[in-house]
Every structure is written in structure tokens, then in C-alpha cells.
Amino acid sequence: MAIQSVGIIGLGLLGGSIGLAIAKHCPDIRTMGYDADPEARNAARDRGLVQTVCDTAAAAAEKADLVILCVPVGAMGFAADAVRSALPDGVIVSDVGSSKQSVADTLRAALPDITVIPAHPVAGTEQSGPEAGFAELFEGRWCILTPPDDVSETDIGALSEFWRSLGSKIEIMDAQHHDLVLAVTSHIPHLIAYTIVGTASDLEEVTRSEVIKYSAGGFRDFTRIAASDPTMWRDVFLNNKDAVLEMLGRFTEDLTALQRAIRRGDGDALHELFTRTRAIRRSIIEQGQDV
């Protein structure tokens, strides 16, 4: 099976980038798109994010081989309901959400007779909206597929080849394992960033202007992460709460140990930790995942 037409529901950063990436890498694939926000639809037309911007989600899905739901994970059920009656025979429905088990459960309930293959392109920026998309977003990035056991290898292969054609590398993973991995590599770092930036903003002894004026590199990195879309990340934490809470518990224990080492003046413990974390950074650079 080869993907010949794609319906994109949600034309923000990820949905818009998919449309632009298809135009760049796979110009023969037909693209249709829809966004619930009329202003986003107008912006999508102006930027040419997809070939056809539709006025309903159903219209964007009715002639598609592949429908990709590019909405916050908390809105997956609404998006599935909006396209359900229009989905053609043989269609694959997928998504781009950062948590996978909740999405799999939601889409399985909403679309019981449809082939659903949840996916997560591990790519993005702190920007959002139709103006933020760009064709190169997925190049050299991982796209993790979490197919249910009853999905055919043919359909998994078709979706894998679609993402490869946009420049992505493919990994197949169990949905629960994905959620645990991403809790460590993405969700907890975002939670920490939101927290530290909020703490700095709330300090009575340091003015907000001083926080902005004297921001060092580390804090600037936190502010970039903390500028990410609030609706998307609210839904991620609520829909992946088990894995997030498990990893947050581990992090809290490690933070307590670090606090104890600083209080006791245990330089050896600090040096050992910093050496290990430095090695992780080097590994990320070696694998080309630092940009």
C-alpha cells in the first residue's frame, strides 16, 4: 500500500509542517487539511500548508488514504468523532501526540472498525500555530509508531514509509514503554522548565526585570522550553500522568540526594554525577540529536 492522499486535522506547527514536508518530498501526494480555528484555516491557505483547506474535518478526511490527527491529545476523541462518518474503506488513522497509550485507547473506542496506528514524530519547537510550520521539521528525527497487535504489517509498512519519505527515522515501540521513555526525555524536562521559570517569576527578592536582564544560558534554555504551547502540554501531563508521576518520583529522590550532597559538602558525589551527565550529552551529540 502506498499513501497517495493525506488528510491533516489540525494545521498548527506539526500539521502544517507535515503538509509542507509532503509538498517538498512527496509532491505527488494529495493533501487536504482542516483546523477548527477559522483564522488558522485562512493562514494555512495563505501559506499553502496543504493543497486544499477544507471547512470541515469530514471533508478533509473523506478521500484520504491516511488521516493524521494533529491536535492536542486531550482533543483526540473530538477529532475522531468529527471524521468518523467520512472515513473511507482502507484508511489509516494516525496522530502526532506525545503520549500514546491514552491516544490508543481513545481512538480505539471512537473508531472501533478503523485501522489506527498511533505515532509520535519526536520533533518540534516552542512555536505554535500555522505560521510556525516548516518542511524540514522531521528530517533526521525519530518517528515512533506504537501499532496495536491486530494491525497488519502492510499498514505499518505504509505508515513507516510515509514518515521515512519526510526524512524521519522509524522506531516501533509498545505504547506504555513509549510513554515511560518520553516522560524521562521530554515530559519531565518540560515540567521542570515550567516550574523553574515560574519560581523565578514569583521571587519577591528578585524583580522580574532582573530575571530577564541577567538570564544566563541555562535559564534562557528553560524559558525557551517553557514557552511551548500551554494547551498541548497541559493535555500531555494529564494523559500521561502515570508515567510522569513515576518519573517525577524518581527525580524527586535524586534531587533530594543532590541537596544532601551540597549540604554536606560532598564534592565527590557532585563530581561523579556531573561526569555521568556530561557523557549523556556527548552521546546525544554523537547521534546527531543535539539540534
137 and 224 part of one domain: no
248 and 264 part of one domain: yes
The verdict on residue 291 lying in a domain is no
pLDDT band at 147 (very low <50, low <70, confident <90, very high): very high
185 and 59 part of one domain: no
230 and 247 part of one domain: yes
In the chain, what's the furthest Cα-to-Cα distance? 66
Burial class (CB in 10 A: 0-12, 13-18, 19+), 202: exposed
pLDDT band at 211 (very low <50, low <70, confident <90, very high): confident
Residue predicted with more confidence, 205 or 191: 191
The verdict on residue 186 lying in a domain is yes
148 and 236 part of one domain: no
27 and 80 part of one domain: yes
Question: What's the domain count of the chain?
Answer: 2
Mean predicted confidence (pLDDT) in 244-267: 93
Of the candidates 146, 174, 202, which is a domain's last residue?
174
pLDDT digits (tens, 9 = 90+) for 43-89: 999 999 999 999 999 999 999 999 999 999 999 999 999 999 999 99
170 and 237 part of one domain: no
40 and 140 part of one domain: yes
3-class SS of residue 122: coil
34 and 127 part of one domain: yes
> Residue 215: is its pLDDT beyond 80?
no
- We report the CATH number of the domain holding residue 193 as 1.10.3660.10
In order, the DSSP letters of 159-202 are HHHHHHHTT-EEEE--HHHHHHHHIIIIIHHHHHHHHHHHHHHH
122 and 238 part of one domain: no
Residue with cell 564534592: 267
232 and 147 part of one domain: no
199 and 237 part of one domain: yes
Percent of the chain with pLDDT over 70: 95
Task: Check: CB of residue 66 under 8 Å from CB of residue 160.
Answer: no
pLDDT digits (tens, 9 = 90+) for 162-184: 999 999 999 999 999 999 999 99
Of the candidates 109, 139, 174, which is a domain's last residue?
174
Domain that holds residue 68: 5-174
Rounded CA-CA distance 89/80 in Å is: 15
